[in-house]
Each structure stands twice: as structure tokens, then as C-alpha cells.
């Protein structure tokens, strides 16, 4: 594909688009976060998952502090071009709580996910 064919992503009024990160290895949905245009550009340029942190209000290179980076195998866009899917190889766990996936609980509060690291040993 030529660069001209890049889909015109709708970053919305706040400049952000929701991004689903999915494990390339087994399809597990790992997290939902947001990207601005810079984060998408960095992801495509570097092949590592970048987002925009709404809480810190800054570009977020996932795993920069924890080492739990994401190697992005594919970036997909949905039919309305207002949501992205990063298909990734996840180092360690995606969730800051130590679980592989942020979606490690049912809405009834039951833990169903796998804990893969101790956050006390990873974060200061």
C-alpha cells in the first residue's frame, strides 16, 4: 500500500480516538486506551504501542517505565474510522495492577484474569 492510502482517522472533538489493544498470540483483549494523532504516528513509526494518557495529559509510550512494552504487529481502524485496534505482542502484563489484561474482572466483581507480575516490584 502507498502512504497516500492511509485512512483518515476521526480523532473527534477532543483529538482522541479509543484504541483496543489485543494480544496477537491468543486474541485476549488487553486494554482500552486513547490515542491522539501523535500517538498513532509514533506507533506506526516505531512499531511500539503509544497512547495519549488522559490522566497525565501527555503522550504515553506504553511500558516506558515498567518495561511492559507492546510490539505492534498491526493497526486496524473500524468502519467509521473513529476507533483503532492495535494487535500486539505484550511484554509482561498490560495492566498496572499486575494482570495480563485490564479486563480481568467480570462486572459482578469476579476475578477471571491471570496475574503475571507484582506491581510493587515494577513501579516505584
Q: Which residues are annotated as a binding site for Mg(2+)?
A: 78, 80, 82
Query: Quick one: cell of 34?
Result: 486513547
| Rounded Cα–Cα distance for residues 31 and 22 (Å) | 7
| Rounded Cα–Cα distance for residues 57 and 42 (Å) | 16
Q: Which stretch binds a copy of itself (CB under 8 A): 6-14, 45-53, 59-67?
A: 6-14
75-114 binders of a copy of itself (CB under 8 A):
75-80, 83-85, 95-97, 99, 102-110, 112
- Neighbouring CB atoms inside 10 A of 112's CB total 10
SS3 74: strand
| Rounded Cα–Cα distance for residues 88 and 75 (Å) | 9
Single out the residue of 16, 29, 116, 122 in contact with a copy of itself (rule: CB under 8 A): 29
Query: Quick one: cell of 65?
Result: 517505565
The verdict on 120 binding a copy of itself (CB under 8 A) reads no
Single out the residue of 44, 46, 67, 114 in contact with a copy of itself (rule: CB under 8 A): 44
- Residues in touch with a copy of itself (CB under 8 A): 1, 3, 5-7, 9, 18, 20, 22, 26-29, 31-32, 40, 44, 74-80, 83-85, 95-97, 99, 102-110, 112
Amino acid at each position: 500500500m502507498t502512504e497516500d492510502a492511509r485512512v483518515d482517522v476521526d480523532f473527534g472533538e477532543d483529538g482522541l480516538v479509543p484504541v483496543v489493544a489485543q494480544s496477537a498470540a491468543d486474541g485476549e483483549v488487553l486494554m482500552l486506551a486513547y490515542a491522539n494523532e501523535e500517538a498513532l504516528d509514533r506507533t506506526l513509526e516505531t512499531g511500539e504501542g503509544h497512547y495519549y494518557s488522559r490522566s497525565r495529559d501527555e503522550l504515553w509510550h506504553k511500558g516506558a517505565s515498567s518495561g511492559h512494552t507492546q510490539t505492534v504487529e498491526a493497526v486496524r481502524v473500524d468502519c467509521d474510522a473513529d476507533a483503532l485496534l492495535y494487535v500486539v505482542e505484550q511484554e509482561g502484563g498490560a495492566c498496572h495492577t499486575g494482570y495480563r489484561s485490564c479486563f480481568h474482572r467480570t462486572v459482578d466483581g469476579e476475578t477471571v484474569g491471570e496475574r503475571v507480575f507484582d506491581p510493587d516490584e515494577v513501579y516505584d
